[in-house]
Amino acid sequence: MSVVNPLVSNEPPLIQSKRPTGVILGALGLGRTRIGLGLVLIIAAIAIFGPLIAPHGPADFIGLPNTGPSGAARFGTDHLGQDVWSRFLDGGREILLLASAATLLGLAIGTSLGLLAAYSKGALDDVLMRSMDVILAFPSIMLALVAIATLGASGWLIILAVGLTNVPRVARVTRAAAQPIVERDFVAAAEAIGVPRWRILFGEILPNVLSPLMVEASLRLTYSIGLIAGLAFLGFTPNPNGADWGLMIQENQIALVVQPWGVVLPIIAVALLTMGTGMVGDGIARAAAGIDRVRAE
């Protein structure tokens, strides 16, 4: 969302001299990073190992719909009579997988474009960054919805669409961080001895912009999780009959008065997960720059 926030977000948010390992160690020394990391690990463990300990299959009908907690169903049944606890344990994998993939895709493409723009300068730089502005002219969720409208909510499309919304934001941060690096002598030296362009970009410049990229990565992960869970909440998931935290919240919202657990469990999971990634990101940002990071969706 940093369409018009150049005064804040385009300001190089970094001190390049800090090494990535130093930043990580510094971040781990902060309380918020540790708490955030703990939250993320707990939720990730539920998502990954949950299906192994689930008492029932996610699509098994075990009783009447919307019944409260009982001996057979620890947290009651959902709108179809499926076990809420089992579906909760089963519903995190998809979100984690899709959000991680979309973040990695956005990082890979965004970093490449940002490095290329900073290194090329001139017309290519302008064309690249102006096309990023066009993508930024859409609210992220709308971009994904427009793509889903014709092509259907397949896993690949969601990764592509959400990944695409991450690209311009990553590209801007990378470009801003790489611009001063491009002017440095070691880049000119590499050019002089004939190092190929892609190796200058990824071998010489990239290692110097890793700190701001780590901050951006955690930010993008937080937003990808929110966006993908939000799409599932709207009913757009690769598997509309499967268990998925976002979808569970939507399905069971109608019966909130009689059976809140089908909504409350996944809500807590999504909330703790995004809070966790957000806190980790804030910790990394503080360690990297020593300043407050502002959310730049």
Partner 1 sequence: MASGPSGSANALQPALIPGGPTEAARLGTATGISPVWGFILRRLVLGIVVLVLVSIVVFAATQALGDPARAILGRSATPASLAALREQLHLNQPVVAQYLTWAGGLLHGDAGNSLAAQEPVTKLIGDRIVNSAILVLCAGLISIPLSVAIGSYAALRRDRTFDVATSLSTLVFAALPEFVVGVSLVVIFATTVLHVLPAVSLIPPGGRPWDNPVALVLPTLTLVLAVTPYVARIMRASMIEVLESDYVEMARLKGLPERVVITRHALPNALGPTFQVIALNLAYLAGGIIVVEYVFNYAGIGGALRDAVSNHDLPVIQALAMLIAGLYVALNLLADIATIMVTPKLRTRL
User: Which residue among 17, 71, 123, 150 contacts partner 1 (CB under 8 A)?
Assistant: 150
Q: How far is the C-alpha of 87 from the C-alpha of 92, rounded, in Å?
A: 9
The reply to whether 121 sits near partner 1 by the rule CB under 8 A is yes
Q: Which stretch binds partner 1 (CB under 8 A): 46-54, 68-76, 175-183, 202-210?
A: 175-183
The reply to whether 125 sits near partner 1 by the rule CB under 8 A is yes
Between CA 43 and CA 51, with CA 46 as vertex, the angle to 5 degrees is 150
Of 234, 235, 222, the closest CA to residue 270 belongs to 222
Phi/psi of residue 77, nearest 5 degrees: -115, 160
User: Which residue among 141, 160, 190, 195 contacts partner 1 (CB under 8 A)?
Assistant: 141
> How near is the Cβ of 182 to partner 1 at its closest, in Å?
9
Q: Which stretch binds partner 1 (CB under 8 A): 56-64, 107-115, 131-139, 200-208?
A: 131-139
CB atoms within 10 A of CB 71: 5
CB atoms within 10 A of CB 41: 11
User: Binding mask 206-225 vs partner 1 (x if CB under 8 A, - otherwise)?
Assistant: ----------------x--x
The reply to whether 65 sits near partner 1 by the rule CB under 8 A is no
Q: How far is the C-alpha of 94 from the C-alpha of 155, rounded, in Å?
A: 9
Q: Which stretch binds partner 1 (CB under 8 A): 51-59, 106-114, 122-130, 185-193?
A: 122-130
The reply to whether 227 sits near partner 1 by the rule CB under 8 A is yes
Distances (CA, A) of 54 to 2, 40, 173, 278: 41, 20, 42, 28
Residue at 233: amino acid letter? F
- By three-state DSSP, how is residue 77 classified? strand
Name the token pair of 196.
């190929």
Q: Enumerate binding residues for partner 1 (CB under 8 A).
A: 1-8, 10-12, 32, 121, 125-126, 129-130, 133-134, 137-142, 145-152, 172, 176, 179-180, 183, 222, 225-227, 229-230, 233-236, 246, 249, 253, 256-257, 260, 263-264, 267, 270-271, 274-275, 277-279, 282, 291-292, 294-295, 297
